[in-house]
Chains A and B, each alone.
Chain A
Amino acid sequence: MKNRIKELRARNNWTQEELARRVGVRRETIVFLEKGDYNPSLQLAHNVANALGTTIDSLFEFD
C-alpha cells in the first residue's frame, strides 16, 4: 500500500513530530506509515487524512 503522507506533510511544512501531535500518535507510527511499513486502522487512516486536510481515498493507494 502506497501513501502520500510524506508529500502532504512536506507541503504543510510539518515535521513528523508535528503531524504525530496533530493526529495524536507516537512519532514512530508516522515514520512507519510514511514508509508504508504499517497498515493503519480505519480510524487512524481517517485521523491522518483529516489532519492533512484530505480524504482516505486520496491519501492511500491500494496495490
Chain B
Amino acid sequence: MLSKRNKKLTSPNKVDARRIIVMTVLLCLVAATILAWGWFAEPGGSPGIPAIALLLLLIGGFFLWNAWRDVRRGLPIEDERSVLAKTRAGYYAFLVSIYFWLALGWFEEELPMTVGQAGGAAIAFGALVFFAAWVYFSRFADPAIRVRQ
C-alpha cells in the first residue's frame, strides 16, 4: 500500500498531461497547415510538402511520446534546467534567424524563389536552429549563461 506522499509522487501530473494533449493538437494543426500551404501554393500539390509534414509529425510524435512516458512515471515534462535550455536555444535561433533574413534581403534578386517560399525557408531555418540548439543544451551542455563573479 502506497503512503499518501508516495501516491502523490507517482500520480501523473494532470497539468503536464493536459499540456501534452494541447501540444499534440497544435502539432496536428501545424502539419495540416503545412499540407494546406503546399496544396494551395502549387496546384495539385508538391511531393516535398507532405514529406515535411510527415517528418514533423514523426519527430514531434517521438518527443510527445517520451513526454507522455515521463508524465506516466510521475516526472515533470519541464523543470528549471529544461526551461533554461529552451530559452537559450530560442536566443540563438533568434540571432541566427536575423542573419538569415539579412542574407535573404541581400541576395533577393539572385534567389530562385518567391517571397512566400523565402519566408517559409527562413521560418524552417529558424526552427531547425532552435531544434539543434535545444537538443545540444538539453542533452550535452550547461544551458546557464555563466558570468564572471
Contact = CB atoms under 8 A, between A and B. Distances in A.
Interface string B1-29: 00000000110000000000000000000
A52 B77 CA distance: 22
Nearest to A18: B9
B82 A27 contact: no
B137 to A, nearest CB: 11
Contacts of A28: 81-82, 138-139
Interface string A7-49: 0000000000100111011111100100001111101100000
A21 B73 contact: yes
A25 B144 contact: no
Contacts of A26: 70, 75-79, 81-82
Interface residues of A, number: 18
Contacts of B144: 38-39
Nearest to B138: A28
6 contacts: A25-B80, A29-B79, A37-B141, A38-B81, A38-B144, A40-B80
Interface of B: 9-10, 70, 73-82, 138-139, 141-142, 144
